[in-house]
Amino acid sequence: MEVDEAAGAVAAQRSIDAAKPDAIVLDVSMPGLDGIAFCASLKSRPETRDIPVVLLTGSDVANETIANEVGADAFMLKPFSPLELLAVVERLAGGLHGTPFRAGGKNQPDEQLLLYARDLRHLLELERGQRRLLESAYRETVTAMAGALESKDTGTGEHSHRVRRYAGELAGRIAPELLEDESVAYGFVLHDIGKIGIPDNILQKPGPLSGPERRLMQTHTMLGEQMLRGVTLLQGGGLEVVRSHHERWDGQGYPDGRAGAEIPLAARVFAVADTLDAMTSDRPYRPAMRWADAVREIFAQVGSQFDPEVVEAFASSGRTLRGIRRELSGAAA
């Protein structure tokens, strides 16, 4: 339903002349020509007499008899239910206005509150449904964007799907509260978004990077954080994942050289998931490693590259992680 507002009768008449509406809602106490007089004027003109009119008033002076005399199709006393007004307008706009309709205001304050509470609950339910649809579309867009970046980087767009699932499994075992922070899941998917700012000749180089190339590559964590800093759904743990997923437990990582528990927990969890998938996937500079060899390498780096507690969770979830790999890539793990 489209709604066109007007500040008074003159502006309303201009809008009506420009485009005939399906229904008109008038407040009796309008500035200038009041709603009763304007309704009478509309009903006296052949070009507007058939447009249904709803009169709204909080005054005892403007009663139902007057509304009927000026030809109003509906009469509603304030306070009224917004949803009830919407239903009346929809009924009248659909042509069901042969008999005048009166929706009286509620005289009991408790009844008014209950009516408003019902309407508010219904509107909130509608809003939540729309938000779920919007968030679903946002997730799909984010995933598609991450996949396009990965395709540029590695030739496939599957990495973000796998690491999100790996990291979610590990987080559920070590700190389930991380999964309650919606931004964390977005951080898992968009962790490498800063690579958009890295030249293709470095991203796709088939051999080892030189010192300057490596330093430039390492800036992708800060670039990613800068790009996403203004995105509401990334505020919280998500930005921490983007910036800190290459930090190391021993403090030898980048970009900030954080160590141990100074590294955000979500980033420590993701570091294991990201490394697992990187090692078991083909890269421009090397073929994929066998799953068992990758697992041994992660165990070898406990206490240096990785948080011991996260690796412990990794050890207990090996079968599940391997199943995720098979499910999402079809690869023999």
How does pLDDT run across 68-92, given as a tens digit for each residue?
A: 888 888 888 877 777 778 778 888 8
Q: pTM to 2 decimals?
A: 0.59
pLDDT at 61 over 70: no
Q: Please state at what angle helix 109-154 crosses helix 159-174, rounded to 10 degrees.
A: 120
CA torsion 333-160-224-262 (nearest 10°) is -60
pLDDT of residue 251: 97
Q: Supply angle C-alpha 201, 203, 204, rounded to 5.
A: 65
Does pLDDT of 5 surpass 60?
yes
Q: 283 by DSSP, 3-state: which?
A: strand
**Who wins on pLDDT, 145 or 102?**
145
d(CA 260, CA 325): 28
| Helices and strands: H and E segment counts in the chain | 15, 4
Question: In terms of pLDDT, which residue wins out, 284 or 207?
Answer: 207
Q: Could you tell me the pLDDT band of residue 94, with boundaries at 50, 70 and 90?
A: confident
Percent of the chain whose predicted confidence (pLDDT) is above 90? 45
Q: Which of 109-123, 170-184, 231-245, 280-294 has the lowest mean pLDDT?
A: 109-123
Q: Kindly tell me if the per-residue pLDDT of 53 is higher than 70.
A: yes
Give the Cα-Cα-Cα angle 253, 196, 286 (nearest 5 degrees). Answer: 60
Above 50 in pLDDT, residue 311?
A: yes
- Look at residue 24 and give its three-state secondary structure: strand
What does residue 23 show for φ and ψ, rounded to 5 degrees? Answer: -160, 160
3-state secondary structure of 322: helix
Each residue's pLDDT tens digit, 19-43: 999 999 998 888 889 888 999 999 9
Question: 117-149 as b/e, with b when 16 or more CB fall inside 10 Å?
Answer: eeeeeeeeeeeeeeeeeeeeeeeeebbebbbeb
For the chain, the average pLDDT equals 83
- For 39, list phi and psi in degrees, rounded to 5: -60, -45
Spatial contact of 35 and 16, defined as CB atoms under 8 Å apart? no
How do residues 209-255 score in pLDDT, each as one tens digit?
999 999 999 999 999 999 888 877 778 899 999 999 999 999 999 99
106 versus 283: the higher-pLDDT residue is 283
Contact between 260 and 252 under an 8 Å Cβ cutoff? The reply is no
- In this structure, what are the phi and psi dihedrals at residue 231, rounded to the nearest 5 degrees? -90, 120
**Residues 31 and 39 sit within 8 Å (Cβ to Cβ):** no
Q: Is 92 exposed, middle or buried (0-12, 13-18, 19+ CB in 10 A)?
A: buried
Q: In which band, very low, low, confident or very high, does the pLDDT at 152 lie, cut at 50, 70 and 90?
A: low
pLDDT of residue 3: 81
Q: How confident is the model at residue 138 (pLDDT cuts 50, 70, 90)?
A: low
Query: Residue 168 above 90 pLDDT?
Result: yes
pLDDT for 117 beyond 70: no
Q: Which residue has the tokens 């009478």?
A: 40
Q: At 77, is the secondary structure helix, strand, or coil?
A: strand
The confidence score (pLDDT) of residue 310 equals: 97
Mean pLDDT of 156-177: 88
The more confidently predicted of residues 315 and 110 is 315
**pLDDT above 90: residue 105:** no
pLDDT of residue 303: 96
Phi, psi (degrees; rounded to nearest 5) at 134: -65, -45
Between residues 206 and 292, the one the model is more confident about: 292
Q: Which of 69-78, 144-153, 254-263 has the highest mean pLDDT?
A: 254-263
Confidence bin at 123 (pLDDT 50/70/90): low
Q: Which two tokens stand for residue 36?
A: 């009763």
